[in-house]
Amino acid sequence: MDHNATNGNKTILSKIAVEVPLNPPFYKPIAKEIEVFEHTYKNKLPVLLKGPTGTGKTRFIEYMAYQLGKKLITISCHEETSSTDLIGRYIIKGAETIWIDGPLTKAVKEGAIIYLDEIAEARPDVIVAIHALTDHRRELFIDKLGETIKAHRDFMLVASFNPGYQKGFKELKPSTRQRFIAVSFQYPSPKIESEIIENETGVTEALARKLVNIANKIRNLTELGLTETVSTRLLVDAAKLIHSGLPKRLSVKVAVVEPLTDDEEITTALTDLCDLMI
């Protein structure tokens, strides 16, 4: 669901998705993250999923919400995301002013899992708003109503964070980070990564392995100075194109090489390397 709201003369676009998948999401565990999450859920501790792009953070929370039978409310945070977007606002309807709960307030009341994707991107007042929800108080203060609400016993807060994303990236303050149990996502082992690719796309094991080998080769080329390297997502995308009939080399070029860099020399070097390996 796309939710548009107006704040003064500025239009805020907050992407809010309430996900209730029909089929169980496919998720392949990388380490002990499922076990850790089950215990954080039992103890209703907030969780921070950290790791580079395309390493399965979103898929993991979708999977966990499904397994636990919980509604998942996802907010994709960006630099304009404010506490008002999350908590709620008054809107004018005819001659009346009515209060509308924001997604966070809804999740707190209903006992859903709220997923604040890329939390570091949000405005600082978002961090302030969640403070009392991330400690023993488990409460949300709605300043515009002058009300404090206690979280439903099933409410859980999950956030994601991509450390060292790019130059001038936003950091999370230690006082914020230390409110979360942190689960780190990394590129999986070759065996697991190729199983993910096979499962997601239906390509053969041999082809999945080749894609994983390409990825690991590029991941080790640290001298290229890429901001982010080949993610599992890119490999899945390449495999999808190949599976649907696009030539292998072209698929790898457009799905793996081109998204990584705009530098012509690096593009040529990586394309040559991939052509040899696929």
Ligand X SMILES: Nc1ncnc2c1ncn2[C@@H]1O[C@H](COP(=O)(O)OP(=O)(O)OP(=O)(O)O)[C@@H](O)[C@H]1O
**Residue located via tokens 């790019």:** 166
Supply the minimum distance, in Å, between the C-beta of residue 235 and ligand X.
8
**Residue in 53, 67, 216, 267 binding ligand X, rule: CB under 6 A:** 53
Distances (CA, A) of 2 to 12, 13, 16, 121: 11, 8, 6, 19
- Residue number with CB closer to ligand X (176 or 232): 232
Number of residues located near ligand X, criterion CB under 6 A: 18
What's 32's DSSP letter? S
Site for ligand X, residues 136 to 155, rule: CB under 6 A? none
Stretch of residues binding ligand X (CB under 6 A), selected from 83-91, 216-224, 231-239, 258-266: 231-239
Q: Where are the beta strands (DSSP E) in the chain?
A: 2-7, 10-19, 47-50, 72-76, 88-93, 96-101, 113-117, 139-142, 147-150, 156-161, 181-184
Q: Per-residue string for binding with ligand X, 3-32, x by CB under 6 A? A: -----------------------xxx-x--
Cβ burial, residue 8 (10 Å; 0-12/13-18/19+): exposed
Supply the minimum distance, in Å, between the C-beta of residue 208 and Mg ion.
22
**Residue in 58, 82, 194, 231 binding Mg ion, rule: CB under 5 A:** 58
Supply the minimum distance, in Å, between the C-beta of residue 54 and ligand X.
5
* Geometric angle at alpha carbon 79, from 75 and 85, rounded to 5°: 45
Q: Check residue 55 for interaction with Mg ion (CB under 5 A).
A: no
Check: CB of residue 217 under 8 Å from CB of residue 256: no
Closest among 118, 123, 14, 119 to 79, alpha carbons compared: 123
- Residue number with CB closer to ligand X (64 or 107): 64
- Residue number with CB closer to Mg ion (17 or 34): 17
- Residue number with CB closer to ligand X (40 or 84): 40
Supply the minimum distance, in Å, between the C-beta of residue 216 and Mg ion.
22
Site for ligand X, residues 240 to 259, rule: CB under 6 A? none
User: Chain centroid to CA 265: how far?
Assistant: 31
For CA atoms 235, 257, 269, 277, give the dihedral sign.
positive
Q: Which does 121 bind (CB under 5 to 8 A by kind): ligand X, Mg ion, none?
A: none
**Residue located via tokens 């992407």:** 15
Supply the minimum distance, in Å, between the C-beta of residue 143 and Mg ion.
30
What's 79's DSSP letter? T
Residues near ligand X, by CB under 6 A = 26-28, 30, 53-59, 162, 185, 196, 200, 232-233, 236
Residues near Mg ion, by CB under 5 A = 57-58
